[in-house]
Amino acid sequence: MGEGAQEPTTVSGFPIEAVYGPDALADFEPATSLGEPGTYPFTRGVYPTMYRGRRWTMRQYAGMSTAEESNRRYKYLLEQGTTGLSVAFDLPTQMGYDSSAAIADGEVGKVGVAIDTVEDMKALFDGIPLDQVSTSMTINAPASLLLLMYQIAGEEQGVAPGQLRGTIQNDVLKEYIARGTYIYPPAPSLRIIADTFGYCAEHLPRFNTISISGYHMGEAGATPVQEIAFTLADGIAYVQAAIDAGLDVDAFAPRLSFFFVARSTLLEEVAKFRAARRLWASIMRDRFGARDPKSQMLRFHTQTAGVQLTAQQPEVNLVRVAIQALAATLGGTQSLHTNSYDEALALPTEKSARLALRTQQVIAHETDVPATVDPLAGSYLIESLTDRIEAEARGYLQRIDDMGGAVAAIEEGYQKGEIERAAYELAKDVDAERQIVVGVNRYRTDEEITPDLQRIDESIRDGQIARIDRVKAERDQAGVDTALDEVRRAAEGDDNLLPPMREALRRRATLQEVCDVLRDEFGAYVPSETF
What is residue 8's three-state secondary structure? Answer: coil
Q: pLDDT tens digits for 31-41?
A: 456 889 999 99
What are the structural domains of the chain?
22-431 (3.20.20.240), 460-522 (no CATH)
Q: How confident is the model at residue 30 (pLDDT cuts 50, 70, 90)?
A: low
pLDDT tens digits, one per residue of 423-460: 999 999 999 999 999 999 999 998 766 666 666 677 88
Give the pLDDT score at 115. 97
- Answer yes or no: is pLDDT of 25 > 90: no
Q: What is the pLDDT of residues 85-122, one digit of tens each?
A: 989 999 999 999 999 999 999 999 988 999 999 999 99
Q: Residue 65: what pLDDT?
A: 80
Eight-class DSSP state of 128: S
Judge whether residue 3 has pLDDT over 90.
Answer: no
Q: How many residues does the chain have?
A: 531
> Rounded CA gap, 345 and 339, in Å?
12
Chain segment 78-88, per-residue pLDDT in tens: 999 998 898 99
- Evaluate if residue 261 carries a pLDDT over 80: yes
> 452: buried, middle or exposed (CB in 10 Å: 19+, 13-18, 0-12)?
exposed
Q: Does residue 268 have a pLDDT over 60?
A: yes
**Per-residue confidence (pLDDT) for residue 4, from 0 to 100:** 46
Contacts 24+ apart (CB under 8 A), 445-449: 445/313, 447/313, 449/313, 449/314, 449/315
- Cα atoms found within 13 Å of the Cα of residue 126, Cβ hemisphere only: 13
Find how far residue 519's CA is from the centre of its chain: 25
Per DSSP, the three-state class of 167 is strand
Quick one: residue 372, left, alpha or beta (phi over 0 = left, psi -120 to 50 = alpha)?
beta
The one-letter amino acid at 366 = E
Query: What's the average model confidence in pLDDT over 271-295?
Result: 98
Helix (H) or strand (E) holding 137: strand 134-138
Q: Which of 160, 169, 247 is nearest to 204 (CA)?
A: 160
Q: Say yes or no to pLDDT of 330 above 90.
A: yes
Give one DSSP letter per residue of 365-380, joined into a string: HHSSGGGSSSTTTT-H
Whole-angstrom Cα distance, residue 324 to residue 288?
33
Please state, rounded to an integer, the average pLDDT across all residues of the chain. Answer: 93
Q: Where do the DSSP E strands lie in 253-394? A: 256-262, 300-304, 335-337
pLDDT tens for residues 53-69?
Answer: 999 999 887 777 899 99
Taking Cα atoms as reference points, which of 220, 229, 216, 322 lies closest to residue 260?
A: 216
Summarize pLDDT for 184-199 with one digit per residue, the tens.
999 999 999 999 999 9
* 168 pLDDT higher than 50: yes
pLDDT single digits (tens) 339-356: 999 999 888 888 999 999
Whole-angstrom distance, CA of residue 192 vs CA of residue 184: 10
Taking the C-alpha atoms of residue 306 and residue 60, their distance in angstroms, rounded to an integer, is 13
Check whether 1 has a pLDDT greater than 50: no
User: Exposed, middle or buried, 123 (CB in 10 Å: 0-12/13-18/19+)?
Assistant: buried
User: Per-residue pLDDT tens for 460-476?
Assistant: 899 999 999 999 999 99
pLDDT for position 79: 94
